[in-house]
Structure 1
Amino acid sequence: MTASLETLPGIVRPPSWRIELPAKTLLVNANDNLHFRRKAERVKVIRNAAWSVARHMKIPALERAHVFFVIHPDTKGRRRDPGNWAPSAKAAVDGLVDAGVLPDDNHTRLLGPDPRIGTPVPGAQLVLVITDLDAMDPAHITLLNPTGDPT
Structure 2
Amino acid sequence: MTAPEAEHGGIIRPQSWRLELPAKTKLINANQNLHFRRKAEMVKVIRNAAWTMARHSDIPALQRAHVYFVIHPDTSIKRRDPGNWAPSAKAAVDGLVDAGILPDDNKDHLLGPDPRIGTPVKGSQLVLWITDLDQMHADHIALLNPPGVLA
TM-score, normalised to structure 1, is 0.89
Partner of 2:81: 81
Deviation string 1:33-74 (CA, Å, 9 cap, x unpaired) is 111111111100000010111110031111100000000000
- The residue aligned with 1:41 is 41
> Partner letter of residue 122 of structure 1?
K
Instruction: Give the Å deviation of 1:10.
Output: 3.2
Instruction: Please give the residue correspondences for 1:2-151 in structure 2 after superposition, counting only pairs within 5 Å.
Output: 7-8=7-8, 10-142=10-142, 146-147=147-148
| Deviation for aligned residue 1:12 | 1.5
Give me the CA root mean square deviation.
Answer: 2.2
Aligned-partner SS, 2:68: strand
| Per-residue deviation, 1:147 | 3.8
4+ residue segments displaced more than 3 Å: 3-10, 143-149
Q: Which runs of 5+ in 2 are unaligned?
A: none
**What percentage of residue pairs aligned between the two structures are identical?**
73
Q: Deviations over 1:97-137 (max 9, x none)?
A: 00011101011111100000111000000000000000012
* Compared CA separation, residues 77 and 98, structure 1 to 2 (3 A): closer
Where 2:90 maps in the other structure, the secondary structure is helix
C-alpha contact 2:18 2:127 (8 A) present in aligned 1? yes
Mapped partners of 1:140, 1:128: distance in 2: 21
Q: Contact 2:107/2:149 (CA < 8 Å) preserved in 1? A: no
CA contact (8 A) 1:14 1:135 kept: yes
Which amino acid is the alignment partner of residue 74 of structure 1?
Answer: D
TM-score (norm 2): 0.89
CA contact (8 A) 2:27 2:46 kept: yes
What amino acid is aligned across from residue 146 of structure 1 in structure 2?
A: P
Contact 1:66 1:130 (8 Å CA) reproduced:
yes
